Amino acid sequence: MIRIYLFALILFCALPLLATPAIAASGDDAKQFVDSVGKHVLEVVNASGGSKDQKQKQLQQMFEQYVDIAWMGQFVIGRGWQQATEEQRSVYQQAYRQYLLTKYTTNFADYTGAKYTITDVKSEADGQFTVNMQIKAPEHSQDTAAGYRLRPQANGQFKIVDIIIEGVSIMMTQRSEFASVIQQKGIDGLIQSIEAKTQGEKQPSK
């Protein structure tokens, strides 16, 4: 399940230069966006040329550009955002950004040969869309259901703001985990925990 989460978010870390219309986006726009993203990511992952470090750097650059990391960071810290000082917020956001970039682009080679099928698109509040798909990974005997929450930006492009795997939201899961850490160790303790997780993700997978 952990690796499916990783593949699901990696699927959105290499978006091509595809802009949605400046007017209100449609479900077809969202579906086209997701399909283009998926194809481009698999091209990067499956490419025979380039080193692992080069591929990871490419994925990280695209991830930063098109995933709404700042929004995600503020959402998952919940009430802790109001408790934090300006300095703590800045340090936390930097730590969270590095954590996401490291966690979701380190083991991309594990997803070589993965396939996906888009199943439907649902319109949500505030012009958002959830694009659902089935993911088939070589290491899993059964397909996994994944949903991607997209939100149109002021510049007319989409950004991803959540992923739902088998009905479980990554953002809600992290929000619960972070709240527990803050309750026990405070904001500084959460930052230290995230930094430790980042270092752990940098260790070679066994």
pLDDT of residue 196: 96
Residue 55 has pLDDT above 70, yes or no: yes
Listed in sequence order, the DSSP H helices in 104-206 are 170-201
pLDDT of residue 40: 79
Residue 18 has pLDDT above 60, yes or no: no
pLDDT digits (tens, 9 = 90+) for 81-135: 999 999 999 999 999 999 988 887 776 666 678 889 999 999 998 889 999 999 8
pTM above the 0.85 mark? no
Residue ranges with strand state E in 88-198: 115-123, 129-136, 144-152, 158-165, 168-169
pLDDT of residue 97: 95
Which percentage of the chain shows pLDDT scores above 90?
Answer: 42
Q: Determine the average pLDDT of the residues in 24-37.
A: 84
Ordered by start, the domain boundaries in the chain are 2-201
What is the full DSSP assignment across 24-37? ---HHHHHHHHHHH
Indicate the fold that domain 2-201 takes in CATH.
Nuclear Transport Factor 2; Chain: A, (3.10.450)
The set of long-range contacts for 185-191, using a CB threshold of 8 Å and a minimum separation of 24, is 187/80, 187/83, 187/84, 187/88, 187/92, 188/88, 190/77, 190/80, 190/92, 191/88, 191/91, 191/92, 191/95
Encoding tokens for residue 29?
Answer: 């726009």
